[in-house]
Structure 1
């Protein structure tokens, strides 16, 4: 009770100070801050859930100097640091299988930062990277208290709300493609992360109305994917759906012939409807993937040609600086110095349009921080997938099939992130670092449950 009372006194003094100041209208903010601080102190997991809920809405709040996610993150970090200082939170929670890869990665990252070709770009990149590291540490500390079904609900609903804005408002579209004030591919990545969680909710819900609600959310996410016109998103989504069918293959095998007939009828109605409502531009973009059989032709598909140019520039950067790279965040600088930047820039473009990111996180990491750091980064993602899958096996041994299925869907979401990083520059994405930390947490929990089951 000492800490909550000290917080109460602090905010009371702050409120009185604001009332006596030239800005008395800010005093109610101190009351709201007090309520939020006490809520986070008693239920830190709520703060992490709030951060996860706000990620799909970041595009709507990107113009604000201090967003809700930043306020919650800063407050949560301070509260958890205070709880660890007074030993209310055990330091053992910081244990993770990722530290053995993350520590050397950060050492190489800082060495690359020290030898960077552009201190300004690298400083901005480091600032964003610190946010990801903070989310990683917060998830390690709070993960054991996190309600995974609630996390699935929040991520799914938040992504669906963003889909509604992006589908029905041209303000949240970019040249006809749904973007939700983000890059269309970034929005597609959010959808591919949320869809496996929405499918888990639809499959595991026992009440028919609730099951239908989550099924409708999944359909809305699919509709949002078509509006993004993201080819990479479609590929990742199909892979995820294939994993779902494989995971539930035993249940599918027990479907009766009459139920199979209804399923076939549903597909016969759904597929033509999907083809009819799918944007013509999306169909053309999907058909353009056939061009890859005969090589990339920039005249037929400028997007594919531009991505091929990123690979050429990245290869040259790696050849010039294989050990430490050219510095975090410096890929746009090197790309702007090539002829590709002018060749693929739009007519009447601004000078800033020449500075393009690689749209490939792995390529950026390898070229900007060097081959050793790139291998460590890839290893962290592979380790997260391994942790989720080992957690699934452990829950199966413990006899908890529902938790095992949850691990399967979390694996799909993590795989969606890992695959999408090949098409998107997002090394500091909050969901990436949340899932990296969560993989260690669920693996420890599953191991403990398996040990208890064996003892029993």
Structure 2
């Protein structure tokens, strides 16, 4: 056993609470929201650790009684599961920790490292507690439902019918013409939507019934409409990249069978809708791509300063969490406001932790895509569909992050982490009593094909 069996439902519930809380708490950007997030993860991690400590004590008593009943359900593969991200994530933490110790502000650096470790803990807790088909479906349903809730509320708020004044942010009045829901920035809400939409679309390819298919299609239309109204160019480009990735997989992977061409056509229609159904303000946003300091022109100017910052601190960077202060020395002239973020997550991370972090980030992405592409050859439609959706969401965010700082927004970073866990986790058990089970969905009715386990 990996940990005391009855701790897993509690940990899973805490993870679900976290996925609901962070989008509602202004995407978790405020210090109090980050503190709540870290406390929830700390409790969940403590339960997991305590379970491992109690195992040797309770196993001799409990195993003969409950193992024959419980083990096939919650731990069908048995043993400790190693993910393909264990080593690159450990390397990333080590680099960030060393950079923090040698920075001019080690306290800020160590706090930033602690937040990074929080996301790693979420990754491992998700991997080790989502074991069955029903649990994976519950996760997808929660995220799709949360996305729908945010879209509906966002539309009411967009039309001036917000019944909750605490979600009216006076400090960001410039975004009034753009849909942002509970998020502080419509661009970051778009980042959240593109990941949820990709996962929901992937779930459509799992053999769901007609009623559920119609529901999921309706949700996708809602997500697309809301994404258009965010007027986020990065969100449109990110979702487009995710959809093109999905089309490429569907057209080259024979496992998707009848879905291949019909799904590719449907995805093509979605891309056209994203372009043709755009409102006049959306068209204006495209035409003014280079206008303004927050648009591409201003960011290209700021990136010159970021590159100079990296050149001056190539090995260890300036330290995690120090970008806002350190960049004041490198910000190019001609920008009227201070850039506290690089508006490019890759450059931001490298500037703070050094060039070696670029290799680690590449290592992480290669490991995720290699694992995901291997997993999409699995016989289970649920495994293939959820993995495809998660990888498409990761692709969308990876592209969007090249021109924004979504991975510094806790709600989006958390969802990105969970999508990575869906890709890298072992395949869920497919029990006959699981809801929606089909005999053709898995090689065996009780034993999945685990990846990278020892």
Query: TM-score surpassing 0.5?
Result: yes
- Distance (whole Å) between structure 1 residues aligned to residue 319 and residue 276 of structure 2: 45
Contact map agreement 1:388 1:443 (CA 8 A) in 2: no
**Where does residue 52 of structure 2 map in the other structure?**
84
- Distance (whole Å) between structure 1 residues aligned to residue 331 and residue 346 of structure 2: 23
Contact map agreement 2:7 2:48 (CA 8 A) in 1: no
Give the counterpart of 1:132 among 119, 123, 143.
119
Give the counterpart of 1:412 among 379, 392, 395.
392
| SS state at 2:343 partner | coil
| SS state at 1:325 partner | coil
Q: Residues 338, 212 of structure 1: CA spacing in aligned structure 2 closer, same or farther, 3 A cutoff? A: same
Q: Residues 188, 138 of structure 1: CA spacing in aligned structure 2 closer, same or farther, 3 A cutoff? A: same
Shift of 1:45: 2.5
| SS state at 1:144 partner | coil
Shift of 1:402: 4.0
TM-score by length of 1: 0.73
Contact map agreement 2:123 2:417 (CA 8 A) in 1: yes
TM-score by length of 2: 0.73
**Where does residue 365 of structure 1 map in the other structure?**
349
Is 2:303 the partner of 1:311? Answer: yes
Count of paired positions: 388
- Distance (whole Å) between structure 1 residues aligned to residue 399 and residue 37 of structure 2: 26
Give structure 1 regions of 4+ aligned residues with deviation exceeding 6 angstroms. 88-91, 252-255, 270-274, 443-448
Q: Residues 114, 160 of structure 1: CA spacing in aligned structure 2 closer, same or farther, 3 A cutoff? A: same
Is 2:37 the partner of 1:45? Answer: no
Shift of 1:211: 2.0
Higher helix fraction: Structure 1 or Structure 2? 1
- Distance (whole Å) between structure 2 residues aligned to residue 252 and residue 433 of structure 1: 28
Q: Residues 111, 254 of structure 1: CA spacing in aligned structure 2 closer, same or farther, 3 A cutoff? A: closer
Correspondence 1:223-234 to 2 at 5 A:
223-234=225-236
**Where does residue 423 of structure 1 map in the other structure?**
403
RMSD between superposed Cα atoms in Å? 3.8
Measured against aligned partners, the alpha-carbon deviations of 1:146-193 in whole angstroms (never above 9, x if no partner) come to 722221111111112112222221437724222223322221111111
Correspondence 1:20-419 to 2 at 5 A:
42-59=9-26, 65=32, 69-70=37-38, 72-87=40-55, 92-93=79-80, 95-119=82-106, 121-145=108-132, 147-170=135-158, 171=168, 174-179=175-180, 180-204=182-206, 206-249=208-251, 251=258, 275=276, 278-289=278-289, 303-338=295-330, 340=332, 343-345=335-337, 354-393=338-377, 395=378, 399-419=379-399
- Distance (whole Å) between structure 2 residues aligned to residue 373 and residue 341 of structure 1: 28
Structure number with higher relative contact order (C-alpha < 8 Å, ≥ 6 residues apart):
2
- Distance (whole Å) between structure 1 residues aligned to residue 98 and residue 28 of structure 2: 33
Bigger CA radius of gyration: 1
